[in-house]
Amino acid sequence: MNESCLIKPLLNGRYPSVEYGQGIYLYDSDGKKYIDGSSGAVTAGIGHGVKEIAAVMKEQAEKVSFVYRSQFTNKPAEQLALKLKQWAPGNVNWSFFVNSGSEATETAMKVAIQYWQEKKRPGKTKILSRWMSYHGITIGALSMSGHVERRARFVPLLEDFPTVEPPYCYRCSFNNNFPECHLLCADQLDRAIRRIGSDHIAAFIAEPIIGASGAALVPPPGYYEQIKEICLSHDILFIADEVMTGIGRCGKKFAIDHWQAVPDIIAAGKGMSAGYAPIAATIISDEVMEPIQNGSKLIMSGHTYSANPQSAAIALAVLKYIENHGLISNAAEKGNELLQKLNQLKQNYPLIGDVRGMGMLTGVEFVANRGTKQPFSRVINVTKLIIDKSMEKGLLVYPASSGIEGTAGDAVIIAPPLTVRSEEIAELVTVFEEAVKEVQAELLL
């Protein structure tokens, strides 16, 4: 495959070329079969090769694929906005469509800043966030991200938005345990706001369950209730970045639904179209939209492809597919099965330090010493060893890392499509076990 002009294969020539997908499986051009144990980048929520979606694609393309949003509205985008309004909690009712998760969080940031400008408080421009977070790759989204590795080479261009410790109970930054800790990690937001001054802060952004930088870190009960209360008491908006966790992935429509804390703005992406089209959304509450509608009227952002009917029709079909096939309850139920099986593996393999997750978003963290939780040196790159070994055996899992030496272990996310069946989970875990066993032996544990 050296004739390719695609940058990644040219750089290391290592990636197989995919031929087709069916359900939770992918097949490469040599006929090798892979279990898609991570839904790609936690995206392919309804599995691969779904005929109903292909039919909608064709039908919409034959009608009209693209219109410019300042010239026309269109039915698929209107219906998709309505569906998201039904799905989102509270009064989070208004959808602004973009093309990627990064654009969704970056738009959320801009909307929060605009909201305070309309309210005649233009000094409120900072967005606070947590260390160990990933909100996207564009400069604004990366500014909000506490993913040290991904920030590293752009630091001079980035804002210092991450300020608070993550709710990482396995390695509590405060050397404490829940519930005795009284949620010191949430309390840190209050301190950060007091130090910086709420007059400078527009919003706090958080992934309800930390994904790419932490491998499915689930905060304890009460965490987001406390976060929401802190935000309210300081006049700060709460943005839930549901790009990875939303659209049924965590066993509810949005992961934040597991807590009593309605966000002011939600960023959704990935599972929203399950990979069938590039589309994402910034979903905004009535309260945040009101001063914008009464003031500038327009959200000061937008992209050429925003709200194009082709992507909107596909996302709408995906949401209906999720509803019609009961995939959210399947994610909750089968997610428990997966978590149980991974916990059983943990008993037998000292390489596994922690297993965690919610719904169909699970994480496995690897340690050099389970007793002390000592992580491996990043030079060894156990995450890569596990990913490569799994792939060799026909299983795809997704890397997760904080990028800070010594603060966290290597980890992978296991998050198959929400359609996954019990026998497929058993097959996935069997292959994963073989990979863990071999890597553990190579590391002489």
Quick one: 132 or 436, whose CB is closer to ligand PLP?
A: 132
- In whole angstroms, the minimum distance from the beta carbon of 207 to ligand PLP comes to 5
SS3 letters for the chain?
CCCCCCHHHHHHCCCCCEEEEEECEEEECCCCEEECCCHHHHCCCCCECCHHHHHHHHHHHHHCCCCCCCCCCCHHHHHHHHHHHHHCCCCEEEEEEECCHHHHHHHHHHHHHHHHHHCCCCCCCEEEEECCCCCCCCHHHHHHCCCHHHHHHHHHHCCCCEEECCCCHHHCCCCCCCCCCCCHHHHHHHHHHHHHCHHHEEEEEECCCECCCCCCECCCCCHHHHHHHHHHHCCCEEEEECCCCCCCCCCCCCHHHHCCCCCCEEEECHHHCCCCCCCEEEEEEHHHHHHHHHCCCCCCCCCCCCCCHHHHHHHHHHHHHHHHCCHHHHHHHHHHHHHHHHHHHHHHCCCEEEEEEECCEEEEEECCECCCCECCCCCCCHHHHHHHHHHHCCECCEEECCCCCCCCCEEEEECCCCCCCHHHHHHHHHHHHHHHHHHHHHCCC
- In whole angstroms, the minimum distance from the beta carbon of 111 to ligand PLP comes to 16
Quick one: 112 or 212, whose CB is closer to ligand PLP?
A: 212
Quick one: 84 or 429, whose CB is closer to ligand PLP?
A: 84
Quick one: 38 or 163, whose CB is closer to ligand PLP?
A: 38
Quick one: 41 or 184, whose CB is closer to ligand PLP?
A: 41
Quick one: 207 or 424, whose CB is closer to ligand PLP?
A: 207
- In whole angstroms, the minimum distance from the beta carbon of 10 to ligand PLP comes to 21
Quick one: 415 or 439, whose CB is closer to ligand PLP?
A: 415
Between the alpha carbon of residue 131 and those of residues 40, 96, 213, 230, 383, the distances in Å are: 24, 27, 9, 18, 20
Contact status, residue 158 vs residue 142, Cβ threshold 8 Å: yes
Quick one: 118 or 335, whose CB is closer to ligand PLP?
A: 335
Output the six-digit token pair for 288.
């945040």
Q: Summarize as ranges the residues that interact with ligand PLP (CB under 6 A).
A: 41, 100-102, 105, 134-137, 207, 211-212, 241, 243-244, 269
- In whole angstroms, the minimum distance from the beta carbon of 107 to ligand PLP comes to 12
- In whole angstroms, the minimum distance from the beta carbon of 147 to ligand PLP comes to 10
Quick one: 318 or 429, whose CB is closer to ligand PLP?
A: 318
- In whole angstroms, the minimum distance from the beta carbon of 269 to ligand PLP comes to 5
Question: Which residue, judged by CB position, is nearest to ligand PLP in the bound state?
Answer: 101
Of 113, 76, 114, which Cα lies nearest the Cα of 95? 76
- In whole angstroms, the minimum distance from the beta carbon of 278 to ligand PLP comes to 8
Query: Omega into 219 within 30° of 0, i.e. cis?
Result: no
Of 248, 273, 253, 303, which Cα lies nearest the Cα of 60? 273
- In whole angstroms, the minimum distance from the beta carbon of 365 to ligand PLP comes to 18
- In whole angstroms, the minimum distance from the beta carbon of 226 to ligand PLP comes to 21
Quick one: 307 or 439, whose CB is closer to ligand PLP?
A: 307
- In whole angstroms, the minimum distance from the beta carbon of 41 to ligand PLP comes to 6
